[in-house]
């Protein structure tokens, strides 16, 4: 267990030490920054509600807060992940509103990726949205509602139980790993800040 943490810590440390500001030879005092792969760095925001869509129900994409970019907007919806196994299923173009409601007609267990770009090609995306089974309805952040099809009675599923469903095939050490990494990253950031 410790060796696994050590490998993760070393990887994180190498990642941070490889990202450094280098003096530019063209402009005195200017620094170029190398950026790691990941989500685009811009002010365009995309929110998916609910975060875990339900098969056969609506999901809302919203980008109307903060800097909403420049209309018209384009949205793509696909399965898989942005960097692996991506399959685009739907594309909506020339949207003038800053939201879109879409009916989830993809099977439970798949993960969705949503991509948004505006008239200036400012792009952002949101991924890893696990589709829940159709007997689940979206609730608030504290609980998701399910209906027993035999009785029609509603029962609340805690967020923890919904999280367990999403991660049913992962080790129970995930929370411990995240805590360890969070502490390690905070320590590294403190060292970098000086």
Q: What is the pLDDT of residue 180?
A: 64
Tokens 């875990």 -> residue = 52
Instruction: Supply the pLDDT for residue 177.
Output: 53
Q: What is the pLDDT of residue 42?
A: 63
**pLDDT of 99:** 95
User: Can you list the domains of the chain with their CATH numbers?
Assistant: 40-138 (2.60.40.10)
- The secondary structure of residue 132, as a DSSP letter, is B
Q: Is the pTM of this model over 0.75?
A: no
Residues 6+ apart with CB under 8 A from 7: none
According to DSSP, the β-strands at 143-147 and 136-137 are antiparallel
Going residue by residue through the chain, which has 194 residues, state the pLDDT in tens, using 9 for 90 and above.
545 555 455 554 444 444 433 343 444 554 444 443 455 556 788 999 999 999 999 999 999 887 778 899 999 999 998 788 899 999 999 999 999 999 999 999 999 999 999 999 989 999 999 999 998 655 533 333 333 333 333 333 333 444 444 444 444 445 555 566 667 677 777 777 76
pLDDT of residue 135: 85
Residue 32 has a pLDDT of 46
**pLDDT at residue 15, rounded to an integer:** 47
For tokens 């990941």, the residue is: 38
Question: What is the Cα–Cα distance from 186 to 29, expressed in whole angstroms?
Answer: 28
């Amino acid at each position: 267990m410790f060796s696994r943490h050590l490998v993760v810590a070393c990887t994180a440390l190498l990642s941070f030490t490889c990202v450094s500001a280098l003096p530019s030879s063209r402009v005195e005092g200017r620094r170029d920054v190398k950026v790691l792969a990941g989500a685009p760095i811009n002010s365009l925001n995309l929110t998916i509600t609910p975060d875990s869509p339900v098969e056969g129900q609506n999901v809302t994409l919203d980008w109307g807060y903060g800097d909403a970019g420049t209309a018209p907007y384009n949205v793509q919806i696909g399965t898989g992940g942005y960097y692996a196994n991506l399959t685009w299923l739907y594309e909506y173009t020339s949207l003038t509103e800053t939201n879109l409601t879409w009916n989830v007609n993809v099977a439970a267990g798949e993960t969705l990726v949503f991509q948004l770009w505006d008239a200036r090609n400012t792009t952002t995306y949101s991924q890893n949205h696990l589709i829940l089974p159709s007997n689940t309805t979206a609730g608030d952040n504290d609980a998701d509602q399910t209906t027993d099809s035999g009785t029609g009675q509603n029962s609340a599923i805690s967020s923890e139980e919904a999280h367990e469903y999403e991660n049913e095939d992962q080790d129970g050490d995930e929370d411990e790993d995240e805590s360890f990494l969070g502490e390690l990253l905070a320590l590294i950031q403190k060292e970098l800040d000086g």
